[in-house]
């Protein structure tokens, strides 16, 4: 089933949680809603499910306006951020609940229910836990039971709110692969919320990036990674180095220094923010060179395939931190050491014209 | 006046930290401190609680089993027992329904007058029962606001059974609600939302999801509510009019007998109320024990 949300707006008191959000979720896709904590992901998901009422805008399920449809008739499967398993019911009864509360005419017989629950337990690979209570399960197990419970009623869409939020890194990784596999088997239109960019990029067909209640970018994982549309997206997806400066002719002025700027779409004289990923920066030991940004090495981590060099730079009485990744042999060739002054030379730079002043911390927090 | 003790987690979990404190040599007090504190509290307990309770039973049986039996099967005594039971049988279910509804409204909905409603629920605890009784007399009495109208329709509320029931309902009104509000607020509404998304209707959600979660708190509230309904003196005394065999509840009957120097009979009826108190305590302990087991399960759940 396809889901469309049109011009959704939601306010809590004076706080705007969602500001004119319009999205299209095509049938059968697994879409990730990605954004920092508090950006409105849960709120959007709850509005789609009908648990929350939007102040403005429509939710359209399979081409039909769902505003007048009660939650229980929307046929959505919802996996809550904190599972919300029925604590006094066994795992079996939890999964069977959705089937047992159906109106008598549509309710399957107890025998069919038993078979279905057993199948679902096998699907989530926990058939040996049927008699346990939620309190006796691990976080990852609860997560999967919550998913099985949602699937039992054969929902037309599956909404998952940070399904792996409370789990450790290893279990997270396992479960996200498992979710992808499950989705490939069942093909239910699914939206899953996360604030982990790696998770979103790895699992989903499409990624929706949200910030402060509005959508920043929508695209396949490759698209959003390779061509971030906004500074926020750039900094949210992975580590970045950030430079404030002014555009010149084919150049960028960062403080007193200059770097080449291949992006000619920016009008000269504009205030800009420029981003470079750690591997897109090179180090020049010749501080007399005409181009490159002066910085001082603070720490070198030479393990793994690439070496990580951390640097500091003072600009406008503020200390900026940078991170550069260079191949290990290059590090050895350059003979870098802590405290050394060098120039940073970007091989690739993503430049955004700065429309409104943005606190640098905002990006740093999301990035490095 | 506030009889509402709450079945909260701190109370339930208070046993194990004490043990921890004791077992640890670094925090253990010197023996004489421990024993003197224990001694003081036990002596107090014996002197002010156990002794009077024992006296009730001793006095009741002073003149033998036959006198005791005769005292509690005497017509007026039986009538008072019956009236007490009627008042409780009406007041407890009424406040059960009200308490669940009020707790539900406060815990699961957002509305403006919420804080006001919470305060209002406490009113019967904060106002003297005598005042409560007087309010009913002023409302429904012969000189009262609704008195003439009631008179014209030949309805009698004050100095009759309905007045006693009303007064009982009033004073026992907060017990169930008070017990459930913190419990339901702590539980939030996620499980209910999960049930609704799965297709359950309001009644199914309440019956299969909410009720089992509040079960022990609810029973606890009902037990306390019942104890109070049967034991209430002040408010009932004002609206009763003390008509023997008609508007006397057990506490009122006891007072009358006592004032007439029929000590054995007074204590015989009193022993029934004392017995009720003991049963209530046993039930209360059992429920707390069950709830503690539940709370421990849930702590495990939130800890892992
Ligand atoms: N019932 C509510 N009353 C007031 N404010 C609310 C309410 N629910 C959410 N908010 C606010 O709306 C914003 C968005 O909340 P939401 O739960 O959608 O965030 P989220 O993106 O899911 O965050 P997280 O990743 O931390 O779960 C938050 O700033 C939150 O404080
Ligand atoms: Mg959330």
User: Is A165 a pocket residue for ligand 1 (Cβ < 6 Å)?
Assistant: no
The answer, as to whether pTM is greater than 0.95, is no
> In angstroms, rounded to a whole number, what is the distance separating the alpha carbons of residues A111 and A132?
20
Q: What is the pLDDT of residues B193-241, one digit of tens each?
A: 999 999 998 889 999 999 988 988 898 899 889 888 988 888 888 888 8
Report the residue of B186, B197, B205 to disrupt the A interface, i.e. the one with the largest count of A CBs within 10 Å. Answer: B197
Among A349, A346, A351, A350, CA closest to A292: A346
Q: What is the pLDDT of residues B38-58, one digit of tens each?
A: 999 999 998 888 898 888 888
Ligand nearest to the CA of A33: 1
Nearest chain B residue to A73 by CA: give it. Answer: B199
Torsion sign (Cα): A223, A226, A229, A235: positive
Ligand nearest to the CA of A18: 1
Residue A356: what pLDDT? 58
> In angstroms, rounded to a whole number, what is the distance separating the alpha carbons of residues B83 and B250?
8
What ipTM did this prediction achieve?
0.78
Residue B73 in contact with partner chain A when CB distance is under 8 A: no
User: Is A39 a pocket residue for ligand 1 (Cβ < 6 Å)?
Assistant: yes
Residue A111: what pLDDT? 93
Residue B300 in contact with partner chain A when CB distance is under 8 A: yes
Residues counted in chain A: 368
User: Is A249 a pocket residue for ligand 1 (Cβ < 6 Å)?
Assistant: no
Among A112, A39, A51, CA closest to A78: A51
Backbone region of residue A114 per phi and psi (left: phi > 0; alpha: psi in -120 to 50; beta: other values): alpha
Chain A: closest CA distance from residue B230 (Å): 33
Tracing tokens 């509305």 back to the chain, one arrives at: B111
Chain B: closest CA distance from residue A108 (Å): 14
Q: What is the pLDDT of residues B130-151, one digit of tens each?
A: 888 888 888 888 777 788 888 8
- Kind of pairing between the strands at A251-254 and A76-79: unpaired
For residue A232, what are its two tokens? 């926020």
Q: In percent, how much of chain B has pLDDT > 70? A: 90
CB B93 within 8 A of CB B173: no
pLDDT band at B74 (very low <50, low <70, confident <90, very high): confident
The 3 state secondary structure assigned to A106-163 is CCCCHHHHHHHHHHHHHHCCCHHHCCCCHHHCCHHHHHHHHHHHHHHCCCCEEEEECC
| Residue ranges for chain A with pLDDT beneath 70 | 166, 356-368
CA of A62 to the centre of ligand 1 (A): 27
Tracing tokens 């180095």 back to the chain, one arrives at: A241
User: Do residue B208 and residue A97 have CB atoms under 8 angstroms apart?
Assistant: yes
Using a CB-CB cut-off of 8 Å, the residues of chain B touching A87 are: 191, 213, 297-298, 301
User: Is A86 a pocket residue for ligand 1 (Cβ < 6 Å)?
Assistant: no
User: Do residue A82 and residue B190 have CB atoms under 8 angstroms apart?
Assistant: yes
Listed by number, the residues of chain A in 74-113 with a beta carbon closer than 8 Å to a beta carbon of chain B are 76-78, 80, 82, 84-89, 97-98, 101-102
User: Do residue A88 and residue B212 have CB atoms under 8 angstroms apart?
Assistant: yes
Cα distance between the two ends of chain A: 39
CB A237 within 8 A of CB A229: no
pLDDT > 90? residue B115: no
Rounded (10°) CA dihedral B277, B282, B286, B289: 90
């Amino acid at each position: 089933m396809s889901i469309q949300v049109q011009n959704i707006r939601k306010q809590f008191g004076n706080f705007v949680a969602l500001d004119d959000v319009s999205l299209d979720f095509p049938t059968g896709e697994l879409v990730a809603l990605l954004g920092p904590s508090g950006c409105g992901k849960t709120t959007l998901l709850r509005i789609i499910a009908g648990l929350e009422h939007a102040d403005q805008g429509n939710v359209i399920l399979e081409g039909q306006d769902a505003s007048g449809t009660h939650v229980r008739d929307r046929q959505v499967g919802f996996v809550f951020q904190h599972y919300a398993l029925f604590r006094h019911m066994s795992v079996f009864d939890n999964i069977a609940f959705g089937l047992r509360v159906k109106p008598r005419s549509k309710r399957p017989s107890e025998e069919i229910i038993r078979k279905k629950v057993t199948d679902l337990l096998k699907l989530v690979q926990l058939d040996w836990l049927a008699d346990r209570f939620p309190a006796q399960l691990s976080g990852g197990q609860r997560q999967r039971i919550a998913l099985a419970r949602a699937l039992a009623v054969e929902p037309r869409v599956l909404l998952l709110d940070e399904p792996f939020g409370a789990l450790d890194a290893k279990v997270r990784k396992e479960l996200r692969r498992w979710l992808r596999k499950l989705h490939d088997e069942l093909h239910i239109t699914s939206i899953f919320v996360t604030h982990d960019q790696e998770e979103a990029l790895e699992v989903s067909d499409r990624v929706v990036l949200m910030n402060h209640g509005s959508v920043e970018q929508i695209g396949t994982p490759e698209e959003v990674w390779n061509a971030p549309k906004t500074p926020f997206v750039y900094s949210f997806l992975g580590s970045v180095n950030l430079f404030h400066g002014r555009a010149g002719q084919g150049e960028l002025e960062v403080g007193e220094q200059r770097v080449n700027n291949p992006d000619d779409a920016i009008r000269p004289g504009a205030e800009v923010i420029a981003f470079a990923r750690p591997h897109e920066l090179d180090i020049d030991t010749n501080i007399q060179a005409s181009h490159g940004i002066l910085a001082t090495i603070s720490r070198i981590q030479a393990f793994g395939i690439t070496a990580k060099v951390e640097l500091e730079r003072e600009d406008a009485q503020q200390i900026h931190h940078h991170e550069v990744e260079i191949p290990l042999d290059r590090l050895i060739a350059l003979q870098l050491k802590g405290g050394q002054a060098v120039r940073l030379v970007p091989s690739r730079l993503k430049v955004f014209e700065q429309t409104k002043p943005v606190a640098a911390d905002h990006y740093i927090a999301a990035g490095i | 006046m506030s009889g509402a003790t709450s079945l909260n987690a701190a109370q339930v979990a208070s046993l194990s930290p004490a043990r921890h404190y004791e077992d640890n040599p670094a925090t253990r007090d010197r023996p004489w401190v421990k024993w003197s504190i224990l001694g003081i509290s036990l002596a107090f307990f014996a002197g002010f609680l156990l002794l009077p309770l024992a006296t009730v039973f001793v006095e009741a049986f002073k003149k033998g089993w036959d006198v005791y039996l005769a005292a509690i099967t005497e017509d007026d005594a039986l009538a008072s027992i019956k009236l007490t039971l009627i008042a409780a049988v009406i007041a407890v279910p009424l406040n059960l329904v009200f308490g669940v509804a009020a707790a539900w409204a406060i815990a699961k909905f957002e509305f403006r007058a919420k804080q006001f409603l919470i305060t209002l629920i406490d009113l019967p605890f904060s106002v003297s029962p005598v005042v409560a009784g007087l309010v009913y007399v002023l409302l429904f009495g012969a000189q009262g606001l609704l008195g003439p109208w009631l008179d014209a329709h030949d309805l009698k509320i004050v100095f009759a059974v309905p007045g006693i029931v009303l007064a009982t309902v009033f004073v026992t009104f907060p017990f169930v609600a008070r017990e459930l509000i913190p419990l339901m607020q702590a539980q939030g509404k996620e499980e209910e939302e999960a049930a609704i998304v799965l297709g359950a209707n309001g009644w199914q959600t309440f019956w299969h999801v909410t009720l089992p979660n509040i079960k022990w708190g609810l029973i606890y509230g009902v037990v306390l509510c019942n104890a109070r309904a049967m034991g209430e003196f002040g408010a009932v005394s004002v609206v009763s009019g003390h008509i023997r065999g008609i508007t006397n509840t057990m506490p009122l009957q006891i007072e009358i007998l006592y004032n007439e120097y029929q000590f054995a009979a007074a204590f015989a009826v009193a022993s029934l109320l004392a017995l009720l108190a003991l049963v209530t305590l046993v039930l209360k302990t059992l429920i707390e024990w069950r709830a503690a087991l539940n709370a421990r399960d849930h702590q495990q759940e939130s800890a892992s």
